[in-house]
Amino acid sequence: MIEVSNITKTYDSGENSFQALKGVTFTIEDGEFIAIMGPSGSGKSTLMHILGCLDTPTSGTYFLDGKDVSTMTDNEQADIRRDNIGFVFQSFNLLPRTTVLRNVMLPLIYANEEPEKRETEARKALLAAGLDEKYFAHKSNQLSGGQIQRVAIARALVNNPTMILADEPTGNLDSRTGEIVLGTFQRLNETLGRTVVLITHEPEVAEHADRIIVIRDGVVVSDAKTHTKRKADHK
């Protein structure tokens, strides 16, 4: 599904330049749950932006579903983000005074889907993300952190994306709530076959994935299956 080949990224600022990525190569198959891990300054955020079609590499290729997105125009990459990638961020990025259901419907509104389909698909995504139906009419600022993140996961699911890209999704959550949210990703991967790419700097978070790619100083230093996969928390 994903093929990254010899990706480099150099940032130029006048006389100075900084190479954030120095030839990154890996593949991700359909239905895998991958963690990309690295410390601050390792290049993982730059890589996340390239995987999410928010930036383009300086050199190398990035194929998503057989399409070389590394050479696409801004408008073409915007279409890929809308149709193929579901984003989940540390900061949630929900509209606080808008209902849960409408927050999840927003991507379908932007995609000009029929109103009836918007609500049907939003409800399905919220249930798949593990949120109780009694919260659908709540405003997002009336929910707990874990519930808000489940709404964000549902919003990422609603367009039936090829890949869910989660950037430090437990960073603003306490450890117990973080475990529940990570269990939600595991369940989506195991029961619905969703491809999940999790960006993190925390080894205990990365261990929830089936495979961990470690990046440091702009290069991949290890790529291995996890030894023990934790059971998904289905609460």
Q: Is residue 65 part of a domain?
A: no
pLDDT tens-digit profile of 95-145?
Answer: 888 999 999 999 898 888 898 899 999 999 999 999 999 999 999 889 998
Q: Is residue 89 part of a domain?
A: yes
Strand, coil or helix: 20:
strand
- What is the rounded radius of gyration, in angstroms, for the C-alpha atoms of the chain? 18
Are 233 and 183 contacting, i.e. CB atoms less than 8 angstroms apart?
yes
Q: Is residue 11 part of a domain?
A: no
Number of domains in the chain: 1
pLDDT for 35 beyond 90? yes
Prediction pTM value: 0.87
Give me the CATH number covering residue 192: 3.40.50.300
pLDDT for 228 beyond 70? no
The contacts of residue 66 (CB under 8 Å, 6+ apart) are none
pLDDT band, residue 233 (cuts 50/70/90): very low
Report the percentage of the chain scoring pLDDT > 70: 96
Are 25 and 43 contacting, i.e. CB atoms less than 8 angstroms apart?
no
Q: Is residue 113 part of a domain?
A: yes
pLDDT band, residue 191 (cuts 50/70/90): confident
Q: Domain containing 46: what range?
A: 29-55+85-225
pLDDT (mean) for 5-31: 91
Are 34 and 196 contacting, i.e. CB atoms less than 8 angstroms apart?
yes
Q: Is residue 234 part of a domain?
A: no
Are 87 and 52 contacting, i.e. CB atoms less than 8 angstroms apart?
yes
Q: Is residue 76 part of a domain?
A: no
pLDDT band, residue 1 (cuts 50/70/90): confident
Q: Is residue 174 part of a domain?
A: yes
Q: Is residue 68 part of a domain?
A: no
213 secondary structure, DSSP code: E
pLDDT tens-digit profile of 144-160?
Answer: 989 999 999 999 999 88
